Structures are given as C-alpha cells and as structure tokens.
Amino acid sequence: MNNKVILFGEEIVLDKTIYVTMDNSWKLFDICPDALKDYCYAGDYIKTCQAIKENRPNIITPITKFVSSSVMELGYEIIVQCKDKAVRFSELLMGSVDGSFGREIRETQNWERMLFSGCFDLDLSV
C-alpha cells in the first residue's frame, strides 16, 4: 500500500496499518482483507501501545484513542470499521471526502471526537 500523506509539514510514508474495529466483528476481514496479513490483535490500551512500539505491521484494536494524527505520524494508516463500512483516514487527509459527509480533516483536529460526533459515514449505534 505505502500511501504518503503530509502531516505537520512533513511527508509521512504509511507502511503499517492500525484497524480500529468499533463492533469487534469479523466483518473487518470482509471489508479489509489486508487485515488478515500478519495481524496482531491488541484488545486494550497497553497492548496497543506495545504493538505500536514494536512497529507491528497490522494492528487490530477496539481502542478509539488511536484514531489520531500522532499515530499516523508514526507511519500507520488508520482504518476505522463499524458494521459494513470502513473509513480510511489517509484518504480524508488527501482531500477525498467520500465517507465523511463532505468534510476534509486536518491533522490538528481531534479525530476521535469527530468520530463520535458523527462526522464520518459510520453507523455507531448499537
């Protein structure tokens, strides 16, 4: 994949992926088949931090705190999945507004807060 984004004035190569699954379902693998490649499931905050520290290439976590530009700055593409949809944050940064109700995102915004306020085309209802 190896997308490139500009964050805080620097070009960042996204050579790893963190998948944030909002419903802990196996639908993630249907939507994002690349998640099956050498993945590490990190079910809590400490395990997710450890996986990032180890530069694991594919991390799956339910922890939304990792939906942030600081994680992307470490070279992680961020994909948030809920039910039958997924949002790829590099696309939103690069100007594609599909999946975000016509909104672009900036690196200085709180992406996690935007996620819960309904800025993205994800159904977070239970």
| Predicted TM-score of the model (pTM) | 0.87
Q: What is the pLDDT of residues 7-58, one digit of tens each?
A: 888 889 999 999 999 987 778 888 888 888 889 999 999 999 999 999 999 9
For residue 75, give the amino acid letter. Answer: G
Q: What is the pLDDT of residues 65-103, one digit of tens each?
A: 999 999 999 999 999 998 888 899 988 876 544 544 445
Contact 69, 10 (CB under 8 A): no
